Amino acid sequence: MLQEKERLESARLMRVNHSGEVAAQALYQGQALMARQPEVADALHHAAAEETDHLAWCELRLRELNGRTSLLNPIWYAGSFTIGALAGALGRSTSLGFVTETERQVEAHLRSHMQRLAPGDTRSRAILEQMTHDEVQHGAKAASLGGKDLPIPVRWAMRLTARLMTRGSYWL
């Protein structure tokens, strides 16, 4: 049984993760819309399907923790869809590189959340462990399909955007 402070922290972390999955759905949908090669579109649709599972797991866990989803999710969705469509329009190697870098950052983010969870929150930890495994697979698939490394300023901008989303969703 979690203490109230632990429950609240877990709910906030799972709200952030839920928002991340909302954004992931939008990114992949925007990229798939712009994909010119069927194998790239298929990989993006497959990843989006797994992200739908993650979204459901996070939402269920939020309910179990008496938490709520972020009020900012519509903004995260719209912005992420736009970014995904732009990345997709830049071509295969850039779009897939964007997926690879996104998943690297998400993996690090999920691992940091697992460290912040109370030791007794095994349910949230199990969800985040499975999500981490899946995200690593998405990134590896994108790299294997020809994703190229993104320029450092783009990676920094992605980190900054993720930090803003994380902080906003943590509180709102």
Q: In the chain, where are the structural domains located? A: 4-171
Model pLDDT, residue 89: 92
pLDDT in tens, 33-46: 998 888 888 888 88
Spatial separation of the C-alpha atoms in residues 28 and 25, rounded to whole Å: 5
> ∠ at Cα 148 (28, 24), nearest 5°?
20
pTM to 2 decimals? 0.93
Task: Please say whether the beta carbons of 168 and 111 come within 8 A.
Answer: no
- Please give the Cα distance from 93 to 33 (Å, whole number): 16
Residue 3 neighbours by CB distance under 10 Å: 10
In total, the chain counts a number of residues equal to 172
User: Tokens in use for 168?
Assistant: 């906003």
pLDDT tens for each residue of 88-100:
999 989 999 999 9
Read off the pLDDT of each residue in 141-149 and give the average, rounded to a whole number.
Answer: 90
- 88 backbone φψ class: left, alpha, beta (φ>0; ψ -120 to 50): alpha
- CATH class in words for 4-171: mainly alpha
Sign of CA dihedral 84, 46, 115, 6: positive
Those residues whose C-beta lies under 8 Å from the C-beta of residue 157, and which sit 6 or more positions away, are: none
Give me the mean pLDDT over the 127-154 stretch.
Answer: 92
Measured distance CA(19)–CA(75) in Å, rounded: 10
